[in-house]
Structures are given as C-alpha cells and as structure tokens.
Amino acid sequence: MNLNQITVPSLNLETSISFYEMLGLRLIVKAMPHYARFECPDGEATFSIHLVDEITKGEGIYVYFEVVNLDQQVTQLKEKGIKFELEPTDQPWLWREARLRDPDGNQLVLFYGGNNRLNPPWRIDNES
C-alpha cells in the first residue's frame, strides 16, 4: 500500500489554487468549479482541493509537506506574503517544522525530518 493523495476542502478553489502554486505545487487537473489536483515537486504524491459549502469546524487535519531546505523555503514564502503561525522550530520528535494555514484554514506543516521521519530512535521493530 502507498499513500497517493490527500484532498482538503476549500470554499474558493481559485484562491486555493493560487496559494498552493505559490507553495510550489504544480497544478495538473483543474476541473472547475469543483476540483483541482496538484503534483508535489518531489516524489510521486499528489494533493487536491475540492469545493465545499462549509469548512468543518474544529482542529481538523494536518497536512505535512517535507522540505529539505526548510528555512530557506520559509524565507522565500514569507517574501511572497505567506504568513506562518510557527517559524522553523526544532521539535522534540527530531523534526524541524514551520506551521501555516491555507486560505480555508487547513493546517499545513512544512518540515524536515531527514532520517528521523522513518527511523526515529523510538521506532518499533516489526521484524518479529
């Protein structure tokens, strides 16, 4: 099994498309007014947005995008006007993270986990 795609809700696809293109995703499907899909610049995963009448209340989901040059990327995005809720910060789970929200309030985390993403010191050994 492989995770292929994440889809998040949006009240305004045009605004969201512009935002995600600014983050560096490549638009590959534009089925207006209901749906758009992007290709991530690295790997084979895709990310999409779909039109909804209402955004779910509460904390919602977190979408993580791994970025090797996190601090540099955050600086470039801030220069484009993107606002961050958390500047790049080293976390106790051994990742460096920056947090922001998309135009619909969906929570995004740009992070760099390196080897610790799949192999943290507390990884469970499933070989038995």
**pLDDT, tens digit (0-9, with 9 covering 90-100), for 67-118:** 999 999 999 999 999 999 999 999 999 999 999 999 999 999 999 999 999 9
The β-bridge partners of 90 are 96
pLDDT the model gives residue 126: 78
pLDDT the model gives residue 3: 86
- Whether the pLDDT of residue 128 is over 70: the answer is no
On average, the pLDDT of the chain sits at 94
Domains of the chain plus CATH, in order, are 5-117 (3.10.180.10)
- Whether the pLDDT of residue 65 is over 70: the answer is yes
pLDDT the model gives residue 99: 98
pLDDT the model gives residue 1: 84
The β-bridge partners of 64 are 109
Q: How far is CA 110 from the centre of its chain?
A: 6
pLDDT the model gives residue 58: 83
pLDDT the model gives residue 63: 96
CB neighbours of 123 closer than 8 A, spacing ≥ 6? none
pLDDT the model gives residue 2: 84
